[in-house]
Each structure stands twice: as structure tokens, then as C-alpha cells.
Structure 1
Amino acid sequence: MTLLELLRARTWRAFDVDDSGRVLAGWDNSGSVQLVEIAPDGTRTVLTDLPGSCSGRYLPGERMVVVQHDEGGNERGQLSVLDPEVPFALAPLVRDPAFIHSLAEVLPGRVVYRTNRRNGIDFDVVVRNVTAGLEEVVHDGGGNVTEVSLSPDSRYVLVGVIGAQPMSTQLLLVDNLASTRDGVVRELTGADEHARFENVHWLPDSSGLVLTTDRTTDRTVVARLDLDSDELTVLVAGEHDTTAWLSPDGSTLLCEANADGWSSLTLTAVDGSGVREVVLPVPGVVGGRFPAPVFSPDSATVAISFTAPGEPGSVLLLDVATGAVRTVVGEPAEGAVSPSSHLVPTPDGEQVPCHVYAPTQPTALAGSSVVNVHGGPEGQSRPEFSPVVQALVAAGHTVLVPNVRGSVGYGKRWYSLDDVRLRLDSVADLAALHEWLPSQGLDPARAALWGGSYGGYMVLMGCAFQPERWAAGVDIVGMSSLVTFLENTSPYRRAAREREYGTLAHDREFLTGASALSRIDDLRAPLVVIHGANDPRVPLSEAEQLHAALSARGVECELLIYPDEGHGLAKRANREDAYPRALDFLARHLAG
């Protein structure tokens, strides 16, 4: 397939499923993700036609969809509702375009959302009655809220906020009756704990929670947290990171093990017994960059977003009683290449997990390589469909997709190896990958870097700190200076990012030195820099200052700015403009 054919491959994802078997799906046929309802007989009804991508959930017990959407990729989510029987007729539910309103949970007659409208920084949790329009603020204690869930008896609100340590979460319990032993808000976990607590589900009797955590282990496990005793009991564990989703009736766990990015699924009883394997259509990834699996309200089915190297995005339905999986909709990409898995040694004795996508036919670009670094840094490159990776391989490049230190999916120790003053150790992994190229028959003089967000930062750092190694780079919404990034990013993000990178107050000198701009005179590799004008995470100024500095030195640097994009390219038209130019650029600089 050509690059344009790959970029035009339609992706599907599952947002919700109701008791009648209707699936609320996302489809990017129009160029951005819009809502489509798929009936049990396969009939499709397009529900939205918005300028940008959107997501949604069914309101339980009603024929109503709650839609979350923003403007120009600015991530300031607004909430609307629509009747699936009357497509495109959105009615405002929560609107204030100056602030973020993100849907957290749907309940009969109510929605729960988080919003920073109080001060633009801290996120409050609000419950809104959809019919009456009445709202109740149930948490306004400050912080960046990542988890929200109301207990089935409506007494408690579980709130997860970003903790004091990198990659940590603190769980708070808000008691609507104000009768807990610690007062209205009770700390279930400590603010300084270096542990993740996520994917939280209430037990039906509101006595406790089922969640994913690495509190006492290197790999994540599924555990029960009892509210009376604060006891944490491991339910499901294994050699790989494990997570689970609890059925609404509390009887069943759908568990996923993440083995070097590949998903394997099992169904178990809530105590971890009675394990049944769930067979996926092909080896691939459940959720990943798409929505997580979601149970129907009656716990009978699970809607699953699925992708694989040759599956751009499919919707699967899992029958909980039988364990059978069927594909509701999906459009495979013919001729896609699957990766091989490797561990790349580093000088300090670590091993970097790396997926390698190799061409099947020789071309004039044989022997060249592109190292594609994921964002985050708390992310993971998984064997999902990537039109860019497949197009690079089809052109003749070998593509290395590593999970450098700091990546999740390989345990707490690995994701902690780049925290704050260890940042340059992660950059050093790029040099180790470059040293490994000849062992794969690749020419180290024809190697380039590609990455987005933190991956874009890594592209710039590799080119600036290892200028003799890299022949070219493609930076997408990356940070050229950690100092100016932290100074100019959205205020609600700054505190969370400082936990990972270091603070402006105490680490400014280090942050300056750990930035590509500090070695701009060493950076000589030609670059393509791609950025969205509305990016709220990495401001456009990061790209503009890099472009100005390199242009002043006569270094080739093509800056592509898209006025209707945010943090990345969400619209197909923009991808079809930027990515062919980037691939032509690499073909020119990596030719034999």
C-alpha cells in the first residue's frame, strides 16, 4: 500500500455498548473521529459531523449520547447530548470554551465530569443532573484529577489525583455523609507513595474497590482495596503488567496481560478464580491508544477496541457467558509488516526493548533506518497499526520502535530510570540503539530519528547531543527547551510535568542543560518540524524558537504549522500534507 492509502485506512474504536447490543463507535471516515451507532444487525448510523474529533458514552437507561468535543485540537473539552434517533442535533450540556470539561462517568440521569473552570489550574469534580440541569461539586480539593468514580450507593466519590512522585497517583475518598474516621475526605493512599493506582472500579456493595497498582510489586497487578480495613489484596498477577475491568454486577473481571506490548485476555471471577482465555482474531493490542474495553450495563457483553500491525482499528464484541469474540466492524490493511522483538544492550548493563519492522522487498533505501520514539515519557510503543511505520518500511527503511528507559509496560523500575536528573540516561539509549544497527545489517551513517511530543524532544536531543550519529530527524510537537516548555505549557499541566522533569525553582540549571537548545551549535542534522498552532501541551513557541535558531545557523529546518491542530495531527487532510513531505525528506537524506 502507498502512504496515502495507509493514511486513508479507516479506523474504528468502541466507546460504549448498551444492553440491546448497540455499539457507540468512533470512525474516522470523514478525516477525524466521529460517532457512529452500530445496530445489532450491523446497520450504521452516523451521529456527528463536527469539525474535529469527538468521543461519547451512552446515558444508561436512556436513548441519549453524551458527546465530548473541543475546537481545533485545543483539548478544552465541551459536553453536549444528542438523541441517536436524531443524528447531528447536539444540545449543549456543559459549555465554557475557556476551560476544560472532560467526561469522567455516566450514570442513570447524571454525568460526572472534571473541570478546571474554578481557577484554570486545579480540577474539580462535578455531578450534573442531565434533565434538571442541577450541578453538585463533589470535590474541589485541588490537584490534577485522573480518576473519578461514584460508588453504587452514591455515598462515596473516589478521586485519583497526580501524586508527588513521578508516575504516582493518590486516591482520595469523599464521603457524602461526612462520617468516615478521617473526615469528609479520606486519604486511601499517601501523597508521597511512589505507586500507581488506576483503572478503579467499585464493588457492587460499595465495600471496596478493584484497581490496578504496583504499590508492592514491580509489575502492575489487579487488587482489591477494602474500605473498612484499607487492606490491599492481590487478585490477579503475573510476569507482565496486568490490568482488569470489572463488570457492573461485580461478578467478572476482564484481565489484560501486556507482554512486550502484545495483549492477552482472560475472563475470571472477581476473586481471580475460574480463568478462561479470550481468543483475539490475531495477535494485537486491546485499547492501547484507543478507548479501554467497556462492559454493557447488564454485564453480558464487552465492547473492545482492537488494533494490530495489520488492523487499523476494529470493534470487537465479547460474550461474557461463552468467552466468544466476534468482529463487529474493521477494515484490515493488506500487506502490513509485523515486528520482531529484541533487547538492545546499553553500556551500563540495561537492555532496551525494541520492535523492529523490516522491509520485505529491497529498495534503493535498503540499509537505512528510522528510530521512532514514543511520546510520554510515560508511554509505551505497542504493536499497533501505524501508517507512518508501515509507509517507512514500504519505502525501504528498517524501522526501530524502542521503549527507552522511562517507558511503561516493563515495570516500575524501568519507568523510573529517567526521572528528573536521570533524563540524559534515556537520551543515551538512543546512542545504544545506534551502536546496535550494524548487528542488524544496517548502515549507521544512514540513520534518522522520528518522534512526537516527548518523542520529538528525544529526536532533538539525539541530534544535538549525538550529532555524529544521526543523519536527519522528524520532530512532531516536541520540546526544544524544558525550561521554556515548563514556563509556557498550560498551567494545569505544569505541576504534573515538573514531577517528571524537575522544577523550575530547583532544577533550572539541569533543565537548561537537558535541552536541545543548549547545544544548538552542535545540531547539524536536517530537520522537519511539525506542530499544531493550538497545542496546549507543548506550545508552538517550542518549534518556532528551534526553527529560528537553526535557520540563523544555516541548518536545514522545515517548519510545518497547522492552524487547526493541537498536540499532534488529528485531521487526515493535515496528515496527508505533512507525512508525505516528511517521508520525501527522509528518502532524500538517507539515500545510499
Structure 2
Amino acid sequence: MDATDASTLLHRLLDATTWRSFDVDAEGRILAGHDASGSVQLVELHPDGTRVPLTALPGAVSGRYLPGRRQVVVSHDVGGNERAQLSLLDPDAVAKEGEPVGEDGLTPLVHDPDHLHGLVEVLPGGTVVYATNRRNGVDFDLVVRDVDAGTETVLYDGGGMVGNAAIAPDRTRALMTRPARPALSSQVLLLAGDTVTELTDADEHARHLAPEWLPDGTAAVITTDVGRDHLGVARLDVATGAVTYLITDDAHDVTGRLSPDGRLLLAVTDDDGASRLAVHDVDGTFLRAIALPPELRGGVADFLAVPRWSPDSTGLALTWTDPATPADVLLVDAGRGRAGVVASSREPLSDLDLVDPTSHGVPTPDGETVPCFVYAPAQPSGSSVTIVHGGPEGQSVRSFSAIVQALVGDGHTVLVPNVRGSVGYGKRWYSLDDVERRLDSVADLAALHAYLPRLGLDPARAALWGGSYGGYMVLAGLAFQPELWAAGVDIVGISSLVTFLENTSAYRRAHREREYGSLERDREFLERASPLGRIGEVRAPLFVIHGANDPRVPLSEAEQVAAAVRANGVEVEMVVYDDEGHGLAKRVNRLDAYPRAVAFLGRTLAP
């Protein structure tokens, strides 16, 4: 493929629009997100096929229906700064006007532009539950707001970050998750008036996710890996804290969502980055698998847009993506065990021969095996690009990626690994990069490089690509393994673990120190594990992308590494977007940055 064809392909892939599901109401309307405008905006999908655009805001938005009334709670920020504000919208009024609304068409609900207000839950009767750091900018409080009265009740102000929360059916108690002391672990709190009870141990190395009350209020359904290596769906007794597993798989993570009537569970099994969906009875008994439409490939139910049961518990709306599907909205009929596409993203790309990955286990010198997806072109050129996910507690899955498919179309073989520290492969695996094990994760990059000849690839023409923590891995690979890598693309990456922790948003620092190490106790190691400390070793050309409003990894991380690499006489190209935060949310910016980065790799990896 020549350069013109490669550029055309990438623009087509980046122009592909995506859908995502946010909620479903009692009339079967789905509150969806669509990015046809260039960023995700709200669209209402009606059962008769009508689509009503609701918002036209400058940045990406999400939302939920207020149960029992025709109102939507809209979550929105400014320029990717992640300081979410909450507003109300009347979808019927928008439909009557015939045009989506901007910010002036929203009714402010919870606004304070200096702080973050994360939407946690919506309840019947016009009640909104949210988490906010407005008290001191660091700690998050859990707040219940009566939309009509404008009154608020603080349920929790005990410090730290708020994870998930669920209000009991009688509204007198709540369950909340917050980070526990071990990295990536979380604990469950029972909130009852002024009393906070720790239902699980803060020192326990386990995740406790997404509690949902059973209708009788005696217990909750929760996803957890307490006492196990893999996540399963369990019953949590709120009187004793006892956990009884309902759905497990000794080889795979299983997550669950409880139906509103408390009778059914959607179980999602993570099978090497692909989702298997099934409906179970609330006692865990398997009822039926969910059959997907035949046009969909092996892919994933996107839990970034949480699957939502319909209020009558007959089905669910969820988001699906696979290597040939940018993102569709599916509606699941729980009784029949079938899913149908409500909003499709596939048609504009239907003539393209998009590549599915093969799954590989890459051996490491210390006896571990790194799961890795390999996307191979029909006529490989011998060059390769290894793409590392963010997190570090993230997971690369079998989803659509314009970058992966464009690189394959340009002749590169693309490796997409789940290096140690990734979730989806058990507690032992996601714990293997904590604090002083950080460089073991970096060493996995060398193992991947050593595997290239087994794929028929040229080790001298290998590049790294990654965003956020993946950007740290790119920089670490270039700095700690300079003889291995021919180029790197760093997107919103960490160049120094020390300056990152010093300069990241205050509310994130304590949370991230659990994973990376403490500035107070682990500074020496953090300096030793920072690419910036070995920047004089970097020989490979570097391409850097960053958002000026990034609250997670400050722009200074990109500026300092670019300056240091340039000072050593190594090529650096850097692009910064003033209207972006942690990543590129706007298509216009992706269309500018990514073709330049792909062309950079085409040049630096040429024979």
C-alpha cells in the first residue's frame, strides 16, 4: 500500500462514528452517545427507529434518565479537564424544538467549575447520587440530591475516593466502595445515618465492584475476587459481610449486573479479551447464553458504558465493539437469549478487510507468559508496532482500533499485549507490577521484542506506541532498552514517576501512590524507574501527543521529556492540543495527530 492509500485508509477509519449505550427507560427508549459531530453527544433512540439528537456541547458528554420522569441528567466538562458538572435536560422539549441544545439549553443541577461531580446513581422520585471533591479538592464525598427541593444529604465524607455506590430499597442505608490499602484493591462500606461499617477488610488484597441491593435489603450482589484469583459474581450479606459466590469460572473473570426486580443476573465472562454473555437466575443458576447478531465478531461488551437493564427487567441495552465494529448499541432480550443491533457503526467500513487478531503467549526469561494479540497484514513488511494499554490496571481487548487497523494496512504487524499488571487474567497477574515490580513490567517489552523473529519480523524495525501508562511504557522501553526499539509514539505519557505524582491532580495523587509507590517512602525507586532519569540513553526518534488540560498526566511530563531528548540530538516531534485533556476526545484532533504519528512510523520503520 502506498502512502496515499495508507493515509486514505486511516482517515476513513478515524472518521468512523461510534455509538454507546448509557441508559434505557420504561418506554424502551435508549439514551445513547454518538460522536458524529466529532465528540460524544447524547441521542435518544426510540423503539420505532426515531433518533432524536439531544446535545451539541463543545466536549464529550454522558447521561442517565431520571426514573419515572422525562428528564435526563447530563454529565459534561470543559476541554477534557474531567471536572464533570451535572445538568438537567428535557428530551421532549428538545424534540419539539427540533435542534440539540448547547450549554445554554441545559438546566444547572450541580455546578462548581473548580471541582469534579461524578454521577453515581439516579433513583425514582427525582433523586441523584453523586461524588464530589468540592470540600477540599482532594477527598470525595457521597451526596444525595433531591432535584425538586434542591436539598442535599451527605452520606459519606470519610476521605479518599468514592468508587461505586448503591442506595438501599428503603433509602435508609447505602453501600459504597472505596480504595483499600493494597494496590487495585477496594473495600465495601455500609452507610447508615452517621454510622459507617466496614463490611470488608481495608487490608484485604481483593477487588469489590458494583454492589447492587437485592429487593429485600438483606444482601447485595457484587463482583469480587476475594479469596480467588479471578473475579466472580457473589452475594454479600450486609449484616455479616459474608460473601457467597454465585457465578464463577476458575479460568476467567466474570462480572455481573442485577435486574431491577432482583430475579436475574447478566453475567459477562472475559475470555482472553472477548466477552461471553449469559443470563442466570439470581441464585446463580445458568438459564441461557445470549446469542449475538451474526454480523458481529468476537468482541467485548464495553463496561465503560455500563450495561443497563430495562426498568421491567426484560432486557438490557449495552455497547458492543469488535475489530470490525467501532461501537454499536445492542438491545438484549433476556427471556429469549438474543441481542439485536439498535444503532450500528459498521456500514461505512463494510467494504474494508479489517483484521482479527490471533492470540499468543509470549514467554519471559523469568518463566511468565505475556498474553498478546497479533494483528498481521496479508503481506507483512517485516516491521512491527507494539501497542501498550494504559492503566496500568487496564486490559487490551478484542475491540475496534483505527490505529491498529491503519498500521496493519500500512504493512506493519501490530502486537497488542497484556503485560504483567493488566487485569483480565487474574489477581496474581495484575499484582505483578506493583511498586518495586514496576520494571518487571517494562522487562516484558524486551520479551515481546525477543518474540518478533518467531513471527517472521525484523527486530531492527520495531516501534512502541502507548497512551497514559502505555506512554510511560513507551518512554521506559526507549530509555531502558535503547538497543531494541527503532521509534516510539508517546500519548499523554508519564516521563517521571516523581514529577507525575508531584504534579497530578491532588485528588489522584494518593490513589495512584498505592500503585506506583509513595513519594515519601519510595522516592529513590520512583526515580530509578523513571524514563527521564535515563533519557541520555534514548536513541530512537520520538513522537509525543498531549492535551493541555490533562488533569491526570500534566502537560509538563511531555514538555520535559521532549526537551531532554532534543537536547541529546535525537529527533522529537510534539503536538499539543489546547482543547483536550487526558487523550484526544475530539475527532478533529485525532484526524490531525494520528496520521502524523502513523506517517512518522512509516518513515522511521522503513527498510
Aligned partner (choices 192, 204, 208) of residue 197 of structure 1? 208
Q: Which amino acid aligns with 2:368?
A: E
Contact preservation (8 Å) 2:300, 2:397 = no
Aligned partner of 1:523 in structure 2 is 538
Q: Structure 1 289/584 Cα, relative in aligned 2: closer, same or farther at 3 Å?
A: farther
| Deviation of the 1:367 alpha carbon | 0.5
Residue 312, structure 1, aligned to residue 329, structure 2: no
Look up the match of 2:238: 227
Q: Which residue of 2 aligns with 1:469?
A: 484
1:69 aligned partner: 76
User: Which residue identity does 1:356 align to in structure 2?
Assistant: V
- Cα displacement (A) at 1:228: 2.3
Q: 1:206: which partner in 2?
A: 217
1:208-264: CA deviations, max 9, x gaps?
110111111001111001122322100000120000000010000000000111000
Q: Matched residues in 1 for 2:196 and 2:303: separation?
A: 33
User: In the alignment, what sits opposite 1:41?
Assistant: 48
Alignment of 1:10-409 (within 5 A): 10-87=17-94, 88=101, 89-108=105-124, 109-176=126-193, 184-238=195-249, 239-281=251-293, 282-288=296-302, 290-332=304-346, 333-334=349-350, 335-361=353-379, 366-409=381-424
Cα distance in 2 for partners of 1:440, 1:491 equals 44
Deviations 1:78-101 (A, max 9, x none): 000000012222111000000000
**Structure 1 residue 283, shift from structure 2 partner:** 3.4
8 Å CA contact retained: 1:22, 1:38: yes
Question: What CA distance in whole angstroms lies between the structure 2 residues aligned with 1:98 and 1:142?
Answer: 19
Q: How far 1:200 sits from its partner (Å)?
A: 1.4
> Partners of 2:378 and 2:112 in 1: how far apart?
51
| SS of residue paired to 1:160 | strand
Distance in 2, Cα, partners of 1:246 & 1:507 = 41
User: Residue 521 of structure 1 aligns to a residue in which SS?
Assistant: helix
Supply the distance in 1 between the matched residues of 2:162 and 2:286 (Cα, whole angstroms): 35
TM-score scaled by length of structure 2:
0.95
Q: Per-residue displacement from partner, 1:256-303 (whole Å, max 9, x unpaired)?
A: 000111000110100011431101233333433640211011112200
SS at match of 2:589: helix
Q: Percent identity?
A: 62
Task: Report the Cα distance in structure 1 between the residues aligned to 2:241 and 2:64, rounded to whole angstroms.
Answer: 32
Counterparts of 2:409 and 2:226, CA distance in 1: 43
Write the distance in 1 (CA, Å) between the matches of 2:300 and 2:361: 23
Return 375-384 or 139-148, whichever deviates more: 139-148
**Compared with structure 1, are the counterparts of its residues 118 and 21 closer, same or farther at alpha carbon in structure 2 (3 Å cutoff)?**
same
Q: Which residue number in structure 2 is paired with residue 446 of structure 1?
A: 461
Shift of 1:148: 1.2
1:572: how far off? 0.1
Aligned counterparts of 1:284 and 1:564: Cα–Cα separation in 2: 35
2:3 matched residue in structure 1: none
Of the structure 1 ranges 478-487 and 78-87, higher mean CA displacement relative to structure 2 is found in 78-87
SS in 1 for 2:478: helix
TM superposition shift of 1:524 = 1.1
Letter in 2 for 1:240: H
Question: 1:345 is aligned with what amino acid?
Answer: P
Q: Show CA shifts across 1:503-544 (max 9, x none).
A: 000110100010111101101110000000000000000000
Where do 5+ consecutive residues of structure 2 fail to align?
Answer: 1-7, 95-100
Task: Give the secondary structure class of the aligned counterpart of 1:230.
Answer: coil
Q: 1:135-185: CA deviations, max 9, x gaps?
A: 111111111111111111111111111111101001111113x6xxxxx11
Contact persistence 1:286–1:292 (CA under 8 A): no
Structure-1 separation of matches of 2:437 and 2:80: 32
Bigger mean CA offset, 257-266 vs 128-137:
128-137
Alignment partners' CA distance in 1, 2:237 and 2:407: 50
For residues 497 and 228 of structure 1, what CA distance do their matches in structure 2 show? 32
Contact 1:220 1:237 in 2 (8 A): yes
**Cα distance in 1 between the residues matched to 2:192 and 2:281:** 29
Correspondence 1:470-485 to 2 at 5 A = 470-485=485-500
2:551 corresponds in structure 1 to 536
Q: What letter corresponds to residue 150 of structure 2 in structure 1?
A: G
Q: Which whole-Å CA distance do the structure 2 matches of 1:274 and 1:519 have between them?
A: 54
Q: TM-score, normalised by structure 1?
A: 0.97
Contact conserved, 2:315 with 2:333, CA < 8 A, in 1?
Answer: yes
Inter-partner Cα distance in structure 1 for 2:504 and 2:301: 28
Tell me the distance in 2 between the aligned counterparts of 1:573 and 1:299: 40
Shift, 1:320, TM fit: 1.7
Structure 1 pair 459–175 and aligned structure 2 pair: CA distance change class (3 A): same
The answer as to whether partners of 1:471 and 1:590 remain within 8 angstroms in 2 is yes
CA distance in 1, matches of 2:522, 2:304: 35
1:579 to 2:594 alignment: yes
Distance in 2, Cα, partners of 1:25 & 1:9: 17
Any idea what SS the aligned residue of 1:72 has? coil
What is the Cα-based RMSD across aligned positions, in Å?
A: 1.0
